[in-house]
Amino acid sequence: AQSVAQPEDQVNVAEGNPLTVKCTYSVSGNPYLFWYVQYPNRGLQFLLKYITGDNLVKGSYGFEAEFNKSQTSFHLKKPSALVSDSALYFCAVRDLNTGGFKTIFGAGTRLFVKA
Amino acid sequence: NAGVTQTPKFQVLKTGQSMTLQCAQDMNHEYMSWYRQDPGMGLRLIHYSVGAGITDQGEVPNGYNVSRSTTEDFPLRLLSAAPSQTSVYFCASSLDRSGETQYFGPGTRLLVL
């Protein structure tokens, strides 16, 4: 079965420090991987995606993610966290076995950046 | 472009009542979907559509109906509301089924008493 795991419910980091939000996946075949961010009382916003090519993907607001096929991971990173990065982050994978129609989301990781 | 719009923003229902959650997009996207968001469970797919006249079930379709008569609109109907359907509902659209980004609406918060 296809699945996405975000092992941390919450990540705390001080402003200016690097941050990492972890994601691992389990799909058959080649996955399409995504990160979304949700601010309070808002819908999800796209951050970045990996389809093919360079394993390091750069996205919005200075975020990047590294696709690691051997570890089936797609961790989200940022070199220097901002207080405004505090939000709920979702990792997602498109299930190509169903023609890519279905997107499977992780449970989410809440990021707190302390000033 | 308005993007993806959803109405209402908030709704309270009594058990057994029915209602329709509206979703519209003005980006001419073929693919639309409905999700529910519950604490600690992320987003779960309820129904999706790959084009006008074509719909299919997601992970948690029971108790919900959808139709897609136009490219723009994708309403979600609750047939007989139950407390277990208390949730935040998000509509999303994307250009096609492959790697394209999904665009999400602002959500509808539903409380079933």
Phi-psi region of B85 (alpha: psi -120 to 50; beta: other; left: phi over 0): alpha
**Does A105 reach chain B within 8 Å, measured CB to CB?**
yes
- Checking if the pLDDT of B34 tops 80, the result is yes
Each residue's pLDDT tens digit, B89-110: 999 999 876 667 889 999 999 9
Q: What is the dihedral of CA B26, B29, B30, B31, to 10 degrees?
A: -110
* pLDDT for residue A98: 64
Residue A109: is its pLDDT beyond 90?
Answer: yes
- Contact criterion met (CB < 8 Å) for A44 and B45: no
Give per-residue pLDDT as tens, B54-92.
999 998 999 999 999 999 999 999 999 999 999 999 999
Are the Cβ atoms of A46 and B103 closer than 8 angstroms? yes
Inter-CA distances, A112 with A4, A15, A37, B38, B56, Å = 22, 9, 13, 20, 37
CA A30 vs. chain centroid, Å, equals: 17
Q: Where do we find the tokens 């299930």?
A: A95
Report d(CA A28, CA A92) in Å as an integer. Answer: 15
Distance from CA of A12 to the nearest CA of B (A): 18
Q: Do B44 and A105 touch (CB under 8 A)?
A: yes
Contact A45 B31 (CB under 8 A): no
pLDDT (tens digit per residue) in A87-97: 999 999 987 66
| Residue from B31, B101, B108 whose CB has the most chain A CBs within 10 Å, to mutate | B101
Instruction: Lowest mean pLDDT of A5-9, A75-79, B38-42, B48-52, name the range.
Output: B38-42
A29 confidence band (pLDDT: 50, 70, 90):
confident
Joined tokens for residue B103: 């665009």
Q: List A12's β-bridge partners, or say none.
A: A112
